[in-house]
Amino acid sequence: MKKIFLNQYSRLRSGWKILILFISFFVGTFFSSSIFTIFYTMYNLTTKGVMPNFTNQNSVFTFFINIIQCLCMIFFVVLYWKVFDKKSIKEIGLTNLRNSYKDLLLGLLLGCISLVIVFLILFSTKNVKLINPINSPNLNFSLLSGLILFILVGINEEMFARGYCYTVLKQTNVRWLPMVLSSVIFALMHSLNSGISPLSYLNLFLFGVLAVYMRIKSNNIWLSIGYHITWNYFEGNIFGFLVSGQATSALYNLNTPINNLINGGNFGPEGGLVVTLVLILQFIFMWRFYKVSEKRKITFFS
């Protein structure tokens, strides 16, 4: 029975560590969100005399609920790693940003470029259509709130999947397991999202493997954090795609004439073959062109 929970070094097995953190995250998020909901409801009743609309995905309430969820994940990753594992946060890839800012900037650039390519392919093949013209963007507050949210989403998901899960799974001493299993966990985290499909799972898995590859190549998670942030932001708040099945207010509104395996249907482009192609191209770029010197200088085309 003891071997089920402890490894040969009498340490709690990595799978149990991840499960305990995930349960703590759900419990913490539930209670934090419940407390916020009570106060938000009381505020609306006393100031407006009406119950708030909890179903509006672009409401202030939904924005803060998402923020609470992100902060809870970040909190529990730091708590379990520093307090219970008693190790430096640098060991999960969150290195000093003064030494890794170039990786963050590169990740931000690559995420932007990736989604521009996705948009251009889908637009040129008429798999999506613009509702408002290029010269008539929807400038609104959601561009700022969406940026704040997706910054936190990128940080919390990368800290959990490529930071905590990947590092803890290295304790198994099975070379391929940390990359594969952390990517499977990342894909399964989106199981409740609207429009999920087998191809969606595949692309989410490939995104996870790419993010791990970025971590291995750069020796930190700042590169994948940057990539994750602008991938989501440009996908949702700039081009108006569904982000893993979730709608956002965007600079441009899109119409999908027909749902198919190219545009991803109700899950958004992450459920389509165009994203599969772009992720493969990103793997090639990282393998062929991304180099890091001992002084952390990024060089290209060497």
Tell me if 209 is assigned to some domain: yes
Tell me if 3 is assigned to some domain: no
- For the chain, how many structural domains are there in total? 1
Tell me if 65 is assigned to some domain: no
Residue 90's CB: how many other CB atoms inside 10 A? 11
Tell me if 61 is assigned to some domain: no
Tell me if 40 is assigned to some domain: no
Element (H, E) at 153: helix 142-158
Tell me if 48 is assigned to some domain: no
Question: CA–CA separation, 166 vs 164, rounded Å?
Answer: 6
Tell me if 58 is assigned to some domain: no
The Cα diameter of the chain in Å comes to: 66
User: Is the distance from CB of 210 to CB of 201 less than 8 angstroms?
Assistant: no
pTM score, two decimals? 0.93
Tell me if 138 is assigned to some domain: yes
- Mean pLDDT within 208-223: 97
User: Is the distance from CB of 287 to CB of 279 less than 8 angstroms?
Assistant: no
Question: CA–CA separation, 248 vs 73, rounded Å?
Answer: 22
Using the predicted structure, report yes or no on whether residue 33 has a pLDDT greater than 90.
Answer: yes
pLDDT tens column, 161-212: 999 999 999 988 888 999 999 999 999 999 999 999 999 999 999 999 999 9
- Kindly give the pairing relationship between strand 291-292 and strand 129-130: unpaired
Using the predicted structure, report yes or no on whether residue 299 has a pLDDT greater than 50.
Answer: no
Residue 293 structural domain = 89-299
Which amino acid is present at 271? G
